[in-house]
A and B are shown apart, each in its own frame.
Chain A
Amino acid sequence: MDRLLIGCGAGFSGDRVDAAGPVVRTLIERGGPAALMFEMLAERTLATAQLARRLDPELGYEPLLELELRPVLADCLNHGITIVGNFGAANPRGAAQMIRRLARELGLVPPRIAVVSGDDLSSKAGRQVIRDCLPGGFDDDRFVCANVYQGAFEIAGAIKAGAQIVVTGRVADPSLALGPAIAHFGWGRTDWDLLAAATMAGHLLECGTQVTGGYFADPGKKDVPGMHDVGFPIAEISPDGACVITKASGTGGLVDARTVKEQLLYELHDPAAYITPDVVADISEAEVTELGPDCVRLSGVRGHARTATLKANVFFDGGWFGEGEISYAGPNAQARARLAMDMMQKRMGKVLDLRFDLIGVLSIIGDDAGRLLESIPDGQSTDIRLRVAGKHEDVRVIDRLLRDVTALWTGGPAGGGGVRVAKRQRLLTQSCLVPRDQAPATFEFLA
């Protein structure tokens, strides 16, 4: 059996739209069976997509989808490269229709597009499933959406049935790579070691350049060549599940043992139990070996039986978030910034909890309660931006906070400049476990 190449065209919603071109060219150069995956959902993205679909039933799929696919669709279809993406987000059918329109516009033979569904539990029946599973109660009035993480077998089923493009909503990120591998190698539902190995290959691919030097560079310590043009990853999966990570030809970036190890552990908890809908992967004995330049093998992954439940993310309306900023510079800048902070606390601190940051002093590793900021003495910085942030059920309270920040223009400490304010709706996330039979996945072809 031939090895399978899987390229990655995107690692999140909003990723570079020029990424997939070099990946597809490399897949074609290397020849043989290949797939291209697009991972474009995060915990937050799907709920945002559900809100977009509420406003317009035609929307709710990945907003960059057309820009992502236009440069590579013809090449993929002409060279038999299967495209798999969770770019359906809250509206997989809408995404599939858009791809069909794009193919028509490009003058291509209409592709066979499959849509995987079953993840969306926002309907009345789905809501009942969530209600039974969610610890701590369920607020109907504030409910926005619920999606369960589906796995790889429906993706594989669609490919085996002839799909050239598979559109999904919420599936576990690594399942996007595992699906084509199952279809290609014919693995069964209890081939735990094989499923786990390809799952970890998918995990290495799922964040795009995070395994090829993106999110890795630290000048002088971990240098990465060609950061402006970091290439996207390609995994070569063997029939025994072992994978070799490489990247698109003629691009910047690097793949070495360090980049692979960082991504291997990314968003993992217990390394012996990485739970996906398909398998429980165990990398506690895994090995990472550099085979050559930009070529690293992952081996020794083991698998255990999948769990009886699927994880669901449930989103509720969380009121409003607002933030405002103003800058102070030069002599005594910190004292003036802290005076503005004190004004805000006295005027609004009783109405809502406020978070303060002194950008240029402490603005990132601090906590919302400000314990660390309190402990930091005034230093030498003379270029400081005060940031105030708060959240509240009532948008009018947030508006009042933002007006108060704006009023620092004329009524605050001396020399304040560059006021900016912004607000947005908040979504609260909860997770729960749903019995598999309560959320079966299916696929169908776009008619």
Chain B
Amino acid sequence: MNEIQLYELAHARTGDKGNRINISLIAYRPEDFDLLVAQVTESRVAEHFAYRRPARVVRYLLPKIGAMNFVLDDVLDGGVNDSLNLDMHGKTLSFHLLALPILVACQRT
């Protein structure tokens, strides 16, 4: 097995509402979807964002478009009007998710 970044297999975009974000995660190739479902779990995403203390992480699956949607509660330090962050919307966090390590069969690289 070989470790690569999620970035190699999928693209993503963050949206925000109040103190909650969603991050879409979309497989480039439909055949990778099951691999992503197996490895990019709610608990791994919660762990990856643990320093932001998410109150809840929920994953929704959209197999017909090879995508999933992660919803993370209370990760914006209050949200767009309350946070002291330069990125008040958390828009950059999609690429933080894409840094997640993924194990693939050796021949994939």
What's the minimum C-beta distance from A218 to chain B, rounded to whole angstroms?
Answer: 7
Asked whether A262 lies within 8 Å of B64 as measured between CB atoms, the reply is: no
Q: Does A336 contact B (CB under 8 A)?
A: no
- Give the contact stretch, choosing among A13-21, A86-94, A282-290: A282-290
Q: Which residues of A contact B86 (CB under 8 A)?
A: 357, 359, 363-364, 387
What per-residue 1/0 map shows which CB atoms of B64-81 lie under 8 Å from chain A? Answer: 111101010000010111
Q: Please report the C-alpha to C-alpha distance between residue A209 and residue B51 in the assembled complex, in whole angstroms.
A: 33
What's the minimum C-beta distance from B8 to chain A, rounded to whole angstroms?
Answer: 9
What's the minimum C-beta distance from B2 to chain A, rounded to whole angstroms?
Answer: 19
Asked whether B15 lies within 8 Å of A268 as measured between CB atoms, the reply is: yes
Asked whether A265 lies within 8 Å of B85 as measured between CB atoms, the reply is: no
Asked whether A427 lies within 8 Å of B81 as measured between CB atoms, the reply is: yes
Q: Does A247 contact B (CB under 8 A)?
A: no
Closest to B91 in A: A215
What per-residue 1/0 map shows which CB atoms of A36-58 lie under 8 Å from chain B? Answer: 00000001100100000000000
Q: Does B93 contact A (CB under 8 A)?
A: yes
What's the minimum C-beta distance from A255 to chain B, rounded to whole angstroms?
Answer: 15
Contact of B22 among A265, A357, A387 (CB under 8 A): A265
Asked whether A286 lies within 8 Å of B65 as measured between CB atoms, the reply is: yes
Closest to B28 in A: A258
Q: Which residues of A contact B69 (CB under 8 A)?
A: 265, 268-269, 271
Q: Which residues of B contact A268 (CB under 8 A)?
A: 15, 22, 24, 69
**Known contacts A368-B83, A390-B84; A285/B11 CB under 8 A:** no
**Known contacts A43-B18, A429-B18; A367/B81 CB under 8 A:** no
Asked whether B93 lies within 8 Å of A365 as measured between CB atoms, the reply is: yes
Contact of A428 among B71, B77, B81 (CB under 8 A): B81
Q: Does B42 contact A (CB under 8 A)?
A: no
Asked whether B65 lies within 8 Å of A215 as measured between CB atoms, the reply is: no
Q: Please report the C-alpha to C-alpha distance between residue A366 and residue B85 in the assembled complex, in whole angstroms.
A: 8
Q: Does A350 contact B (CB under 8 A)?
A: no
Q: Which of A390-441 contact B (CB under 8 A)?
A: 390-391, 426-429, 431
Q: Which residues of A contact B44 (CB under 8 A)?
A: none
Asked whether A287 lies within 8 Å of B15 as measured between CB atoms, the reply is: no
Q: Does A126 contact B (CB under 8 A)?
A: no
Q: Which residues of B contact A428 (CB under 8 A)?
A: 81-82
Closest to A375 in B: B51
Interface residue total, chain A, C-beta cutoff 8 A: 55
What's the minimum C-beta distance from A340 to chain B, rounded to whole angstroms?
Answer: 17
Q: Please report the C-alpha to C-alpha distance between residue A425 and residue B85 in the assembled complex, in whole angstroms.
A: 16
Q: Which residues of A contact B24 (CB under 8 A)?
A: 261-262, 264-266, 268
Q: Which residues of B contact A431 (CB under 8 A)?
A: 18
Asked whether B22 lies within 8 Å of A267 as measured between CB atoms, the reply is: yes
Q: Which residues of B contact A371 (CB under 8 A)?
A: 51
Q: Does A229 contact B (CB under 8 A)?
A: no
Asked whether B92 lies within 8 Å of A318 as measured between CB atoms, the reply is: no
Q: Please report the C-alpha to C-alpha distance between residue A431 and residue B80 in the assembled complex, in whole angstroms.
A: 13
Q: Does A389 contact B (CB under 8 A)?
A: yes
What per-residue 1/0 map shows which CB atoms of A183-221 lie under 8 Å from chain B? Answer: 000000000000000000000000000000001101001
Q: Does A131 contact B (CB under 8 A)?
A: no
Q: Which residues of A contact B18 (CB under 8 A)?
A: 43, 429, 431
Q: Does A300 contact B (CB under 8 A)?
A: yes
Which residue among A257, A268, A372, A387 has the maximum number of chain B CB atoms within 10 Å of its CB? Answer: A268
What's the minimum C-beta distance from A325 to chain B, rounded to whole angstroms?
Answer: 10
B interface vs A, CB < 8 Å? 7, 11-13, 15-18, 20, 22, 24, 26, 28, 51-53, 60, 62, 64-67, 69, 71, 77, 79-87, 92-93, 96
**5 sampled A-B residue pairs with Cβ under 8 A:** A266-B15, A267-B16, A368-B83, A389-B84, A431-B18
